[in-house]
Structure 1
């Protein structure tokens, strides 16, 4: 409740911490991955009804999505952490439909690992993130190798092709937007207006 009030009042970090102390609570520890969604992000994903949008934490765990995201990827169930879906064999999650990147699977995997490595440096006290990385380094030789070689990385736009059982293959622009002050990633899919892929997205909305 205190966190929601701080967001509603749009307090900066110092003001937020003072509010927590006034309520007799410890301020949130910024050394852990945040999972709270600002109300504005929820409203944006709800109102953009024709754009598939998913919101991920810094550990690449899917936190929130709109109806078009579920229509494109399937209703998220089971594992929602993208790194586990990519690197653990047999794991089925929110990305279970066949999906591939114009940059290639290897380039996409390297970007995710580099981003996780940077997140680990920012949130050294986050037990969940530490366990995620340790588990993947132990069970996935690919992840472990990429982790050792990972340098600084910035998630960029890409083109993804998704094989959907209802409308066939869609080739869409995939953009990753960061939320200032919240360290969240908004992933969106769009198509060129008037293109066959845009028509397929519209068909998914109708379905």
Structure 2
């Protein structure tokens, strides 16, 4: 309930009252909705909002959760996250890591494209030969060097170059995705250890405090290969429904020579 309360406070703080037509003669001390405004929009009492945010209330009903989601303008992923925090979704103990045969068949058909499979905590499970050629062989890498989030926030991959805008979007999206994973697998010790480790990173800590929840779906980056040079790539992420794995497919960016360089590496 403390996690639920913290999420509600963070979501309330980010809502622009003016966008909802709420005005006040008294100056606001902080940005976002006041508790009374959230209570009015959700149709519940101010006292109940306070108890929820302080972690002192009993589990809210699913109807109350839905009303809060609408009042806070939550995305679909964030509403699902709210429901999980309130106990309305069963959670597995551990993040799945087994790649099913159906996904292997897809991988086999995409051999001319760099692709990789990650689990829900962004640990690399498989990279096809072209992925290895572009980013380096992870066969002898440590566990840290196989986790995309650790690699990103600790600048471990020297073959990846991003603009400031690309990095900001990528990191925000990854952290929001990890927030969703932490709610789906609240008892996985590896997920807890990953979050604890990254809490020492200022950029991660700032993004984690925003409590955004989303599915990471795409990114842009440039791979810098020692033989063929810069390869601009677009990454598209497909999440499997039953196993919660992420299939990352990297395609050459339009208007560049990336396709030619990938063909040379292949």
- TM-score above 0.5, yes or no: yes
Q: How does 1:1-207 map to 2 (within 5 A)?
A: 30-76=92-138, 77-78=141-142, 79-88=145-154, 92=156, 95-100=157-162, 103-137=165-199, 139-191=200-252, 196-205=257-266
Tell me if structure 1 keeps the 8 A contact 2:166–2:221.
no
Stretch deviating more after TM superposition (192-201 or 59-68): 192-201
1:37 alignment partner, SS class? coil
Deviation digits for residues 17-61 of structure 1 (CA, Å, limit 9, x no counterpart): xxxxxxxxxxxx823211111012123223321110100100011
TM-aligned CA deviation for residue 154 of structure 1: 2.7
Kindly tell me: are residues 194 and 121 of structure 1, through their superposed partners in 2, closer, same or farther at Cα, counting changes over 3 Å?
A: closer
CA distance in 2, matches of 1:158, 1:51: 16
CA distance in 2, matches of 1:159, 1:135: 26
Rg: which structure is higher? Answer: 2
Question: How many residues align structurally?
Answer: 172
Gapped regions of structure 2 (runs ≥ 5): 1-90
Tell me if structure 1 keeps the 8 A contact 2:176–2:216.
no
1:4 equivalent in structure 2 = none
Instruction: Give TM-score scaled by structure 1 length.
Output: 0.76
CA distance in 1, matches of 2:256, 2:205: 40
Q: Aligned-residue CA RMSD in angstroms?
A: 2.1
TM-aligned CA deviation for residue 107 of structure 1: 1.5
Kindly tell me: are residues 103 and 176 of structure 1, through their superposed partners in 2, closer, same or farther at Cα, counting changes over 3 Å?
A: farther
Instruction: Give TM-score scaled by structure 2 length.
Output: 0.60
TM-aligned CA deviation for residue 191 of structure 1: 2.2
More strand per residue: 1
